[in-house]
Structure 1
Amino acid sequence: MTVPGRRSSTFTRLLKHGFTDPSAAARLLDLPDMSSVRSDPVLLDALGASADPDLALRSLVRLAEAHEPDERRRFLDNLITAKPLRDRLLGVLGASEALGDHLARHPRDWHALATYESADLHPGVEDFERGLADATDPVSLRVSYRRCLLAIAARDVCGTTDVAQAAAELADLATATLRAALALARAAAPGDAAACRLAVIAMGKCGGHELNYVSDVDVIFVAEPVNGTEEAKALQAATRLASHLMRICSETTVEGTIWPVDANLRPEGRNGPLVRTLSSHLAYYQRWAKTWEFQALLKARPVAGDATLGQAYAEAVAPLVWQAAERENFVADVQKMRRRVVDNIPAAEIERELKLGPGGLRDVEFAVQLLQLVHGRSDATLHSGTTLEALQALAAGGYVGRADAAQLDEAYRFLRAMEHRIQLHKLRRTHLVPEDEADLRRLARSLGLRTDPVATLNREWRRHGSVVRRLHEKIFYRPLLDAVAQLAPGETRLSPKAAGQRLEALGYADPAAALRHLEALASGVSRKAAIQRTLLPVLLGWFADSADPDAGLLGFRKVSDALGKTPWYLRLLRDEGAAAENLARVLSAGRLAPDLLLRAPEAVAILGDPEGLWPRGRDHLEQEVLAAVGRADTAEAAVAAARGVRRRELFRTAAADLIGSYGTEESPAEGDPGALVDRVGDAVTELTAATVAGALRAAVRDQWGDTLPTRFAVIGVGRFGGHELGYGSDADVLFVHEPRDGVEEQEAARAANAVVAEMRRLLQLPTADPPLLIDADLRPEGKSGPLVRTLASYQAYYRRWSLTWESQALLRARPMAGDAALGEAFVELIDPLRYPPQGLGDEAVREIRRLKARMEHERLPRGADPTLHTKLGRGGLSDVEWTVQLLQMRHGAAEPGLRTTRTRDALAAARAADLISTDDARTLDEAWVLATRVRNGVMLVRGRAGDTFPSDARELAAVGRYLGYGPGHVGDMLDDYRRVTRRARGVMERVFYDA
């Protein structure tokens, strides 16, 4: 019986040794077989030095009890007297519950840890093959495998090997296991073995000599017939052997499993044949393989089976691997794969993801592989499948800064060590950092973190993850700056050829020009150059992620030249992370926004304001424009001031559209293309209305002061009235006036016409800004009719002469500037025309249909593809708008919701009134939104309006990026457009033509 004082002393001693449950530990130590352990301070010290002393003691008791009495005494005597055994065994038992379970089932396997000879320190494949030699079936192979794993883990937890050596040993053990499994498969089917040559190619971490404790072992199988066997029969035999090998390693037995053998990296993945001939592999890679497949082949290494065939495979695919960087969209493809991996991580796990999350192991591996593929074309020293070896070679060759490489090496080793110890505990495949306090404590102690272990572990983990995040892209772009900045002459730099290769891989069409821009921006010792060297590595990554990196970098140089001496500019980009990224996105997305910005570079400040990208409302815009007009000395200066506001606000709208800021957490626009289109339409329309109001004020003030002899209003029609203007749209208008009391009609008419002429002159003055054309061709009598009329004149014309199409054109009429009361009076005048009280007669309907058919036949430009013309093509804007407008004219008098100038609102009202089915309305709406977005995208990319997709490949790709299509998916964009508009045309023919 233990007296209370002694028990208290024991508890204190156990707590000092790191036990967290001293009561349970004391009970175990009181067991008769544990007397030698209890009385030996060296053994208690060794238990306390383990990652989890409680776990180590529990497993030690189970191991001792598993022996017969005599063997138990010998085992415990060895444990006491042999320090190597004591340190290694207790180190394993404290770190791995799973290996403790193995020893409890196979207690004699402790002998695998008893030796400590130099030959035992770094075994190779042959050593492991000897360790597996007694395996005669899958069960005994698993036992032998775990015995070898036990020795690897002992060297690992005791620090005899570092994390890279442990990973290499695990890969060598996997190689020996694959060979043993293949031997078992051959022995089970000697006929198959004789019919074919089969080589096993290791991929992934096994191929790269950097395997985890628990991981799929990725392989590819290649086979050839022997002894005159037909190829088909040889492949069948090889497939049976390969399948049997996979089952031996992957299936669960009473001894558990070894690891899954994964052959999904083979050509065509799981849909392709398991085994191919060498020529079949090469035919696939030369014709069909994607970029990521060549990236995967970087780690290909023959490990089992026919060595000559395996080596022939490796030699045949190597040239293809090192040509991969010459493929179109190479970097974008690699980065897209990385993003796809991150996007598939559950949101609840991403912060705990050690391997795949941001700043994780995969970021290091992707960055290193990317640089290997770019520069390995001309430098064979980079041809290593092992991440850390390749990183060292990149640093030695000057492709990565030595300090950056050293930091990345340290971070990678720490993260891999964490991954190893997490998996070692239960021998389960996981990359998630545990949340339980006890698990974190054991993990931290296994890594040698003994002071405040959990807090220290979290701090070190976050620190290394932050280093990886910071260096992930810096190591790719920073050496480009070092190559041109001409600083630190002793530092190894990229050669001009290597810098050019890297820029070409990033998508720069003119790497020489890009290097000149970088030199101009980053050379020298000024504070400005130093900040640029900090900013540019990240900016270059954003430019490379666009359709036109050259344009992005050139635009950045121009903006920096214009604002470089302005104190706030570089500070804004450095300190406001969103501002730099937003600027990069805007500058590399097309011509319109950069052209606007270069006309007023100070608008960069908009990009750093969280609310800066939201469009200003009509009242705010008109107030600012009219105030600017009021301060100007001449009408020309007034309109120039109004144009300055328009330029800035058009840039705000374009930038927001490109960046996607119209969709935010607070806004329902997120992910809704229709809402994005509406926002742009509203913003451009209200900006145009404010500009027209400013031109009107300037025209009136210059000749008449504050009061014009006649009341005057500008009525928006077409897209202007519908609040649907795009970046390149003209403003269709009607002008109406009404003489003031006491003013003769002739005098009023002269004044109104003079105002119209002056407005048009002022707005047509030469300028570098995007043009704002006001088009009055939809007025009564068209181009031959008077530009401006009184209300009475409009009423007389419409009552006597108006045609159906003119009533249709009035559907989108809406007051936009000038006398508000007069504008409303005009609306009251035209409402009975556009929404006929009795609806449309049959003849009027036929007239509209005839006019639409004639327009389709006559107005589509010669040579234009009718399936891709956004305005007049099949299922384009015209088809949708005429369909909606016919419904408005037929039913607008009875359905108030149809009395709107906006196409989408009218379509929604028609659906609500059951005038069109929900599916048909959705189809028309989708086509209208898509066609509108294409037109906006063309204007943003080309800087000039267009109704069809660009023919230039780079411009077409930029439109694709605007629409959400990544690199290499231009064909998908065109196919989707044709599909959507084809369906819309079908709806239009049924609803409009009653077909």
Structure 2
Amino acid sequence: MTSAGTYVRKGFVDGAAAARGIEQLGDAGLPLTDELAASADPDAALDGLLRLVDALDEQAEGAGREMLAEVADDEGTAMRLCSVLGASTALAHHLARHPEQWRELTDPTLGSTRPAAYALREALLTAVGADPHADEPVAGLPDKEAVDALRVEYRRHLLRLASRDLAHHVGLDDAAAEISDLAGATLDGALAVARARVGEPAHAVRLAIIAMGKCGGHELNYISDVDVVFVHEPVDGADEGTALRAATQLASHLMRICSDHTREGTIWPVDANLRPEGSQGPLVRTLASHEGYYDKWAKTWEFQALLKARAVAGDVDLGRRYCEMVAPMVWSAAGRDGFVSDVQAMRRRVVDHIPAHEAERQIKLGSGGLRDVEFAVQLLQLVHGRSDPSLREGATLSALARLSEGGYVGRVDAEKLHEAYTFLRTLEHRIQLHQLRRTHVLPEDEASLRRLGRSIGIFSEPAAQLDRQWRHHRREVRRLHEKLFYRPLLGAVAKLPGTEARLSLEAAEARLSALGYADPRAALRHLEALTSGVSRTSDIQRTLLPVLLEWFADSPDPDAGLFGFRRISESLGRSPWYLTMLRDEGQVAQRLAVVLGTSRYATDLLEREPQGVKMLGESLVPLSAEAALAEMQSLLERAETPEAAVVAVRAVRRRELLRIACGDLVAGTDVAVVGQGLSRLTDATLQATLDIATESVRRQRGLDAPASRIAVIAMGRYGGFELSYGSDADVMFVHEPVDGVEAQAASSYATAVVAEVRRLLSLPASDPPLEVDADLRPEGKNGPMVRTVESYAAYYAKWSHVWEFQALLRADAVAGDPDLRARFTELIDPLRFPAKGIPESAVVEVRRIKARVDDERLPRGADRHTHLKLGRGGLADVEWTVQLLQMRHAGRVEGLRTPQTLPALQAAADADLISSEDAETLAEAWRLVSRVRNAVTLVRGRPSDQLPRDSRERAAVARVLGYPQGASDQMVNDYLRTTRRAHAVVERVFWE
């Protein structure tokens, strides 16, 4: 007896059990050992063979031994039988139930001959007792017998196919096509059983079954849903209602016949959800009804699904007419508005529905999986198949070959993608074949990986080698996905090496248009400018652009992204670090694409400060005021004039504005942090500019020292640390004469300094202006630009109105003389936070002013529901509500003594002045509206207080807010719902 160790060396896992099993095979044991050992799972193959022997012996004494002798004497049969038993426990179980079918594997033509589709149809129809040559075959067996017979016959053919696939390596295309033909024959068999069930009414209707998806594309898996569409037509003279009922019954019975579980198991589910209106639509429609739906209502993804439509069962003529009807619609789908975004959205929906625990091992749906290849090929087919009929193939690999032959995909890339796709599909087949279960997840246990590896010919370290090969092919699919779409575009305008694809200019324009570029010709000009020549720069651009074009295409404005990239590249192209950084640091390149394709504001800053590209590889957290001021002040010493000094200050500000904007766009910086960052940057800018102006005026006047100390008081959103990108800097100026200087001279000096600050900041420069607005000062535009603390005290004591005390709620002394800032704060605190709160008359006045603002300040034509500042539930609603709570209660609630909205709101909730639910509702609205306001400025490049009406701008705003592509309606609905809830709180808290 051969030792257990010998069997382990041959490939068995349990050597002792293998030795016992081989001995049970008797004289056939030794001849069959090598064939068993060569199977995917030798232990399972041996166990299945022993069960088959027992099953045959149960049918007839000695039949098992006769089978063993015959198989041992026929190498081909032995190879086919052992390979099936070792790879599929489901088919081993089927053979144990129907042991006579082992003889199917003795057929010597299995290795060379694929059965014709018509032969399969005849076999399945005959199995249920139907005449395969009749116009409308009807099952002749009793119903239950027919249903079981259909299953047994289906598995018989599947057994033959699996043996061809495993033992003779017939190839993925042939195997998938044969499974698809078998599915079509099975549908015809099920339809014959359904006709028998429906009876006489079935003769009133013609029914065609259209295969979709993998079955339609002749690339079905071993076990998969079979996607179909049913189309019917009344026979001549039949009542339409009767025909509809009969067609619906036929379709319903057919679906149950295929999917019901019986003593012979099940076949597969028939899925009709790709029909018009999906699961909510009628199960069957006439040809005219289908045409009307596709003409008027169908979405892009439905035409993508129809790309593989093929008549496979039922009425042949009706099915052919259906396919001829939909074909022109399919091949014109790429011209529809939103074509690419619809296709991309469909792919995202697929990815989003992958369970988290499966995502990394999903062969079909995961990143770098089969669906990536299929979507890429289908998108290229739909784009270029309009003008090139040779691309109108249903099968993925056939279509890929045609794309390569036509120059739409590079030959080498097509070969590598073919190799990766074939590997992944073969792996998927082997996984499903094991238990005939619908799964696309690569198992993790060692035993399963070992079986899978051996099933595809990996016998040395099969589990480890399989894992390495799978990961390699996933990476290849990810890499080639971008090249399929984008690198051939460069071939239309640049000299690419060797075998790269060569698109015509017309084909390149068609592809760019389908990918979302509004001006394809301009895009091609940009590509030509970036890639022309033989320099190292051009070489790197040709490497970068396929990736960048994909990222631009996924952005709200691909044209702006590409144009911005060209301009920045022309500015920095000769800088040695620029392209190298983009090539070697993927995060920088991707961030740059997002910025350029989304934000005019940030793009403008980058064009003025192209060195800012370096920042995309750094931290995007806003600088503190101290750090920004220190850098600004370090530059002042080298400036020869005030104008040169302020240019240096504004350059730092421009760079930091870019940092904040980029953080908002690509890192999702919190809106409160953005407001604080912009406010601190303004603090530093004002302080540095005040230092410059102070020194300038002192020199102009020939003074040895400043004549007055000056402080800057931030007001409004600036005082609340809540600046947005488009906000002015609302300020007041306060001064105090130094000892020995007359009041008038000090006032003149302070006024001159303030004027110089405003002049310097208003000088033309390559950065967004900083508008210093002092209109909130006492007496507004008519009052003096700068006052002493005593002058402010006198004014507030005698002349001020309640709205001015309300404005002081957000006053914050931010720049200038520290002592003077502290004294001004001491002055205004009792005024804005009165110990006993404001009287009821003042509350009425605040409400009256708010009513006037709501009524008079809203711009003509503005939508009150979507106006960000003055709309219902907008910024004004929330901020006035919080400020009224502060004016009434800050005297006794210390937490309310803050210029910032959100901390004051939280303090009000903590003091039970407002419920925590209402406070959360107001805070949510304030944050959302502030984010939208910032996003609008980032997208448009200029501030606006209205939610955009333009669809592209609205989509871009949604993307800045973190919504997925195509979710701008969801963004608007969220905005309206949030502000509506906030407005309801304002109605209760502010007005009541």
TM over 0.5: yes
2:50 match: 61
**Is the deviation greater in 713-722 or in 279-288?**
279-288
> 2 CA distance for matches of 1:236 and 1:523?
65
1:672 match: none
Does structure 2 conserve the Cα–Cα contact (< 8 Å) formed by 1:121 and 1:160? no
> 2 CA distance for matches of 1:616 and 1:112?
77
Structure 1 unmatched runs, 5+: 1-5, 663-675
1:531 match: 540
- Please say if 1:354 is aligned against 2:379: no
Q: 2:694 aligns with which of 688, 692, 700?
A: 700
Does structure 2 conserve the Cα–Cα contact (< 8 Å) formed by 1:587 and 1:594? yes
**Is the deviation greater in 192-201 or in 178-187?**
192-201
Q: 1:773 aligns with which of 763, 771, 774?
A: 771
Letter aligned with residue 467 of structure 2: N
73 and 969 in structure 1: CA distance in 2 versus 1, 3 angstrom threshold? closer
Q: 1:497 aligns with which of 468, 490, 506?
A: 506
1:667 match: none
- How is 1:856-895 mapped onto 2 (pairs within 5 angstroms)? 856-895=854-893
- How is 1:133-212 mapped onto 2 (pairs within 5 angstroms)? 133-135=126-128, 136=141, 137-212=146-221
* Deviation at residue 566 of structure 1 after TM alignment: 0.8
* Deviation at residue 952 of structure 1 after TM alignment: 3.9
> 2 CA distance for matches of 1:75 and 1:120?
24
**Is the deviation greater in 348-357 or in 645-654?**
348-357
- How is 1:90-129 mapped onto 2 (pairs within 5 angstroms)? 90-117=82-109, 121-129=113-121
Letter aligned with residue 91 of structure 1: S
* CA deviation vs aligned residue, 1:319-339 (integer Å, no higher than 9, x gap): 111121112221122112212
Q: 1:759 aligns with which of 753, 757, 760?
A: 757
1:83 match: 75
Tell me the SS of whatever aligns to 2:108: coil
591 and 160 in structure 1: CA distance in 2 versus 1, 3 angstrom threshold? closer
* Deviation at residue 291 of structure 1 after TM alignment: 1.6
Tell me the SS of whatever aligns to 1:824: helix
- Please say if 1:506 is aligned against 2:508: no
Tell me the SS of whatever aligns to 1:257: coil
Does structure 1 conserve the Cα–Cα contact (< 8 Å) formed by 2:488 and 2:501? no
**Is the deviation greater in 618-627 or in 110-119?**
110-119
> 2 CA distance for matches of 1:121 and 1:820?
94
Does structure 2 conserve the Cα–Cα contact (< 8 Å) formed by 1:715 and 1:734? yes
- How is 1:391-406 mapped onto 2 (pairs within 5 angstroms)? 391-406=400-415
2:395 match: 386
Does structure 2 conserve the Cα–Cα contact (< 8 Å) formed by 1:700 and 1:707? no
* Deviation at residue 59 of structure 1 after TM alignment: 0.5
Tell me the SS of whatever aligns to 2:393: coil
1:659 match: 666
2:799 match: 801
2:724 match: 726
Tell me the SS of whatever aligns to 2:174: helix
Q: 1:637 aligns with which of 640, 644, 647?
A: 644
> 1 CA distance for matches of 2:961 and 2:333?
28
Tell me the SS of whatever aligns to 1:715: strand
Letter aligned with residue 59 of structure 1: G
**Is the deviation greater in 205-214 or in 218-227?**
218-227
> 1 CA distance for matches of 2:22 and 2:971?
72
Does structure 2 conserve the Cα–Cα contact (< 8 Å) formed by 1:839 and 1:890? yes
Letter aligned with residue 237 of structure 1: A
Tell me the SS of whatever aligns to 2:862: coil
1:36 match: 27
Letter aligned with residue 828 of structure 1: E
Tell me the SS of whatever aligns to 1:303: strand
- Please say if 1:903 is aligned against 2:901: yes
> 2 CA distance for matches of 1:30 and 1:80?
14
* Deviation at residue 169 of structure 1 after TM alignment: 0.7
948 and 694 in structure 1: CA distance in 2 versus 1, 3 angstrom threshold? same
> 1 CA distance for matches of 2:370 and 2:499?
31
Letter aligned with residue 274 of structure 1: L
Letter aligned with residue 625 of structure 1: M
Q: 1:412 aligns with which of 398, 421, 428?
A: 421
**Is the deviation greater in 386-395 or in 330-339?**
330-339
> 2 CA distance for matches of 1:415 and 1:118?
25
* Deviation at residue 987 of structure 1 after TM alignment: 2.2
Does structure 2 conserve the Cα–Cα contact (< 8 Å) formed by 1:629 and 1:697? no
Runs of 4 or more, structure 1, over 6 Å off, are none
Letter aligned with residue 695 of structure 1: T
Letter aligned with residue 44 of structure 2: L
230 and 893 in structure 1: CA distance in 2 versus 1, 3 angstrom threshold? farther
* CA deviation vs aligned residue, 1:82-125 (integer Å, no higher than 9, x gap): 22211111111111111111111110001111112279621122
* Deviation at residue 521 of structure 1 after TM alignment: 1.0
1:668 match: none
- How is 1:521-920 mapped onto 2 (pairs within 5 angstroms)? 521-609=530-618, 611=619, 613-662=620-669, 676-704=670-698, 707-920=705-918
* CA deviation vs aligned residue, 1:338-369 (integer Å, no higher than 9, x gap): 12222222222211111111111111001001
TM-score (norm: length of structure 2): 0.96
Letter aligned with residue 781 of structure 2: K
* CA deviation vs aligned residue, 1:483-529 (integer Å, no higher than 9, x gap): 11123477551111110000001111111110011111122322211
> 1 CA distance for matches of 2:534 and 2:147?
67
397 and 659 in structure 1: CA distance in 2 versus 1, 3 angstrom threshold? same
* Deviation at residue 961 of structure 1 after TM alignment: 2.3
> 1 CA distance for matches of 2:498 and 2:83?
48
- Please say if 1:12 is aligned against 2:5: yes
**Is the deviation greater in 558-567 or in 270-279?**
270-279
* Deviation at residue 230 of structure 1 after TM alignment: 2.9
Letter aligned with residue 691 of structure 1: T
> 2 CA distance for matches of 1:273 and 1:490?
50
Identical counterparts, % of pairs: 60
Letter aligned with residue 574 of structure 1: R
* Deviation at residue 22 of structure 1 after TM alignment: 0.9
Does structure 1 conserve the Cα–Cα contact (< 8 Å) formed by 2:111 and 2:170? no
Does structure 1 conserve the Cα–Cα contact (< 8 Å) formed by 2:697 and 2:752? no
TM-score (norm: length of structure 1): 0.95
> 2 CA distance for matches of 1:119 and 1:650?
70
> 2 CA distance for matches of 1:47 and 1:474?
44
**Is the deviation greater in 61-70 or in 214-223?**
61-70
* Deviation at residue 967 of structure 1 after TM alignment: 4.7
* Deviation at residue 472 of structure 1 after TM alignment: 1.1
> 2 CA distance for matches of 1:549 and 1:559?
15
**Is the deviation greater in 809-818 or in 344-353?**
344-353
* Deviation at residue 219 of structure 1 after TM alignment: 0.8
Letter aligned with residue 106 of structure 1: H
Tell me the SS of whatever aligns to 2:735: strand
Tell me the SS of whatever aligns to 1:769: coil
Does structure 2 conserve the Cα–Cα contact (< 8 Å) formed by 1:899 and 1:906? yes
> 1 CA distance for matches of 2:796 and 2:169?
97
* CA deviation vs aligned residue, 1:262-294 (integer Å, no higher than 9, x gap): 111111211211111222222222222222111
Letter aligned with residue 178 of structure 1: L
* Deviation at residue 437 of structure 1 after TM alignment: 0.8
> 2 CA distance for matches of 1:428 and 1:744?
95
* CA deviation vs aligned residue, 1:358-404 (integer Å, no higher than 9, x gap): 11111100100111111111111111111001101111111111111
Q: 1:27 aligns with which of 20, 25, 28?
A: 20
Does structure 1 conserve the Cα–Cα contact (< 8 Å) formed by 2:660 and 2:677? yes
Letter aligned with residue 554 of structure 2: D
Tell me the SS of whatever aligns to 1:121: coil
Tell me the SS of whatever aligns to 1:58: helix
Letter aligned with residue 310 of structure 2: R
Tell me the SS of whatever aligns to 2:168: coil
- What is the root-mean-square deviation in Å for CA atoms of aligned residues? 1.6
Letter aligned with residue 698 of structure 2: W
Does structure 1 conserve the Cα–Cα contact (< 8 Å) formed by 2:111 and 2:168? no
